[in-house]
């Protein structure tokens, strides 16, 4: 027998022994846990401070709770007796006692696929039947922790506020939501793309129907399953649309565009002032739920590389990205998106109906506070008005608002770039270079996942796209949705100080229906210096 064959045989024997040792250790640990970790009965909350039992009889877990827990200051005054911790009626509950009551088990840093008791609930991403697909379960509550089939937490970045509420005693971690009367007022029915695992990979297409399609799991099995999408209706009120209507450029039809209720004077009497208008809209809030194999495929990288990058660059926040390759779903701690629909939602799937689309990435400074250094708000308002006009012509309009502040670089980076631009001579030829100097890249929005929401809505054709972005246009077309017409922001809507941005984008290849800009032209486009305005 060759030395290579002998080495392989020895290695196989060693691995077999290690596996047997691990199984034996897990069995012993399970017995030890059952002897040393008594069941903690739920303790009744008083004065809004819940202390439920969260013990988990899970072996092979990692280090115990730290001896010096991080202090948590509760705004509520709670006695120990009211929480069932001490017979002394007036003794206040310490943070250590609260921590022990909330988290009586040892700290669970991670789990492993072959660990004792671990059995993820079946997840078949892309299955047409939701019962076959299975619910998204990421909860660490005792009722669900062993059946989790997703990594992360619901609500994206807002999950941190939930953690604070639980630590402070204002929220019970075992609170069971009452979803009655929360169903969508407008239907977003299943589409063929929902059962195509390559079409929707960045959120759960069944997310708005969770209380209906996963009723068995919620009510009979007691699993902690939550909606990740909510659909509702509303009226949109914008002063810019008021002004456009006053100019006669939009028509009040009583269906899409409505006259606002009369204004009131300070004394409560009805005012004679023009109250303006309101837009009738349907809207959906969507939280991200990533199917990791599909996301990796979109970006042309391996799933293992994606998992490692997510693990490393969140500071090791989610160890199960590397220890649980069997779990394919991840709820990232980022913002989601909002869909605004103008006109009948049923028209979204009808290719014969004209459809106008704007995909807009968040710009808080402009969209909310009216900063004039960019064209974000003027372009958004223009797109909303175009959607209204399309709906009034018998079609439907869609604005998708993504939380990707500062080209997904964040607002801090954005403001640092502003400082550099204003101090270094704010010219169009330096526009993208300024961002690269600070962030290392000029844009991190990566539009590969963006078309998912269009497929979720059942959109098959876009007649009008209000966008100059080639990245957005290419992502949509390459996903299989044709775009018949695209148009840019009208010249008269561009604020003077944002001319730098627009000219730099056009020169870089962004779509423009009329203007051609050369590199020589860019140096001539200069923004306003700080000294030109009062601060």
- Residues noted as catalytic: 443, 445
CA torsion sign for 501, 503, 504, 506 is positive
Pairing of the two strands 462-466 and 355-361:
parallel
Residues ≥6 apart with Cβ < 8 Å to 355: 347, 348, 390, 395, 396, 397, 398, 459, 461, 462, 463, 464
Helix (H) or strand (E) holding 396: strand 396-402
Write out the two tokens for 124.
């078949």
Strand partners, 18: none
Closest CA to 467 of 406, 410, 398, 519: 398
Q: Which residues pair with 279 in a beta bridge?
A: 236, 257
Task: Look at residue 82 and give its three-state secondary structure.
Answer: helix
| Token pair in block for residue 66 | 């730290």
Rounded to whole angstroms, how far apart are CA atoms 518 and 173?
59
CA atoms within 13 Å, Cβ hemisphere of 35:
6
Q: Are 153 and 141 in contact (CB under 8 A)?
A: no
Distance CA 151, CA 329 (A): 6
Burial of 133 (0-12, 13-18, 19+ CB in 10 A): buried
Among candidate residues 415, 412, 404, the one with its CA nearest the CA of residue 361:
404
User: What radius of gyration, in Å, describes the C-alpha atoms of the chain?
Assistant: 28
23: left (phi over 0), alpha (psi -120 to 50) or beta: alpha
State the alpha helices, DSSP H only, in 393-518.
405-408, 411-423, 431-439, 452-457, 470-478, 499-507
């Amino acid at each position: 027998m060759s030395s290579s064959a002998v080495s392989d045989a020895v290695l196989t024997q060693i691995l077999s022994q290690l596996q047997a040792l691990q199984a034996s250790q897990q069995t012993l640990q399970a017995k030890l846990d059952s002897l040393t970790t008594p069941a903690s009965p739920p303790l009744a909350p008083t004065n809004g401070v819940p202390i439920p039992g969260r013990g988990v009889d899970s072996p092979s877990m990692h280090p115990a709770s730290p001896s010096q827990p991080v202090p948590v200051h509760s705004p509520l005054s709670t006695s120990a007796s009211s929480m069932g911790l001490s017979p002394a009626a007036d003794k206040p509950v310490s943070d250590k006692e609260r921590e022990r009551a909330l988290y009586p088990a040892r700290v669970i840093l991670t789990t492993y696929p072959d660990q004792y008791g671990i059995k993820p609930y079946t997840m078949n991403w892309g299955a047409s039947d939701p019962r076959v697909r299975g619910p998204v379960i990421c909860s660490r509550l005792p009722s669900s922790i062993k059946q989790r089939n997703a990594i992360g937490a619901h609500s994206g970045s807002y999950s941190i506020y939930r953690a604070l509420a639980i630590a402070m005693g204002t929220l019970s971690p075992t609170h069971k939501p009452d979803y009655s009367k929360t169903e969508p007022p407008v239907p977003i029915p299943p589409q063929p793309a929902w059962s195509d695992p390559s079409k929707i990979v960045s959120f759960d297409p069944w997310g708005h129907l969770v209380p209906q399609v996963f009723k068995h799991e919620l009510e009979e099995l007691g699993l902690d399953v939550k909606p990740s999408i909510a659909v509702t209706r509303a009226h949109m009120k914008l002063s810019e649309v008021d002004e456009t209507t006053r100019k006669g450029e939009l028509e009040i039809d009583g269906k899409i565009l409505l006259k606002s209720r009369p204004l009131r004077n300070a004394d409560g009497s009805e005012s004679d002032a023009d109250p303006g208008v309101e837009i009738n809209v349907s809207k959906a809030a969507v939280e991200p739920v990533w199917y990791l194999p599909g996301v990796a495929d979109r970006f042309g990288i391996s799933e293992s590389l994606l998992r490692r990058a997510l693990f490393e660059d969140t500071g090791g926040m989610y160890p199960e990205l590397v220890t649980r390759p069997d779990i394919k779903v991840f709820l990232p701690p980022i913002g989601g998106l909002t869909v605004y629909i103008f006109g009948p939602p049923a028209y979204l799937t009808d290719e014969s109906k004209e459809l106008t689309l704007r995909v807009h990435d968040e710009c808080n400074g402009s969209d909310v506070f009216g900063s004039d250094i960019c064209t974000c708000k003027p372009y958004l308002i223009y797109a909303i008005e175009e959607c209204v006009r399309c709906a009034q012509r018998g079609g439907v309009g869609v604005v998708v608002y993504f939380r990707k502040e500062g080209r997904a670089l964040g607002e801090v980076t954005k403001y640092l770039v502003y400082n550099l631009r204003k101090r270094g001579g704010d010219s169009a030829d330096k526009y993208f270079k300024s961002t690269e100097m600070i962030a290392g890249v000029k844009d991190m929005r990566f539009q590969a996942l963006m078309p998912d929401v269009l497929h979720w809505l059942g959109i098959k054709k876009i007649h009008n796209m209000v966008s100059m972005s080639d990245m957005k246009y290419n992502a949509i077309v390459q996903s299989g949705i044709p775009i018949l017409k695209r148009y840019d922001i009208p010249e008269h809507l561009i604020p003077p100080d944002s001319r730098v941005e627009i000219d730099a984008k056009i020169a870089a290849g962004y779509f423009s229906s009329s203007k051609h800009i050369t590199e020589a032209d860019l140096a001539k486009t200069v923004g306003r210096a700080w000294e030109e305005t009062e601060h």
